[in-house]
Amino acid sequence: MTTFDDRQTAFENKFAHDADLQFKVAARRDKLVGLWAATQLGHDGEAADAYARSIVIADLEEAGDEDVVRKLVADLAGAGIDEAAIRAQLALAATEARRQIMDSM
């Protein structure tokens, strides 16, 4: 292989690694925000875990965060939690998720 081929392979590997890392962080973030929302709804134990899984699955519907935000807004409307609070919690959960994933590597 030439040096160019080696560089190309290295870039492809880095891209794949970064995409995998981004997916793991997003899934962990969704689980964390799902657990937070579950507590807001009064769920605990297995019910909270099931609700968190439903948030992770909701994020697979379309690209971006809007599918998760829509679900959380709809679910938490009765609890008096608005979209701004949900987006703030998503940001906090993203930071914590990244920290947890990086610590586990």
pLDDT value, residue 62: 85
Q: Is the dihedral of CA 45, 47, 48, 54 positive or negative?
A: positive
pLDDT value, residue 57: 93
Burial class (CB in 10 A: 0-12, 13-18, 19+), 25: buried
Q: What pTM value is reported for the model?
A: 0.86
- Confirm whether 3 is domain-assigned: no
Q: Which two tokens stand for residue 100?
A: 């947890």
- Confirm whether 97 is domain-assigned: yes
Distances (CA, A) of 25 to 42, 43, 80, 83, 99: 26, 24, 28, 21, 9
pLDDT value, residue 73: 96
pLDDT value, residue 1: 61
- Confirm whether 50 is domain-assigned: yes
pLDDT value, residue 9: 82
Q: State the residue range of the domain holding 90.
A: 26-103
- Confirm whether 52 is domain-assigned: yes
Report the domain count for the chain.
1
Q: Please give the single-letter amino acid code of residue 20.
A: D
Residue segments in the chain with a per-residue pLDDT below the cut of 50: none
pLDDT value, residue 14: 82
- Among residues 29, 38, 15, the alpha carbon closest in space to that of 101 is found at 29
Q: Find where tokens 């679910």 sit.
A: 75
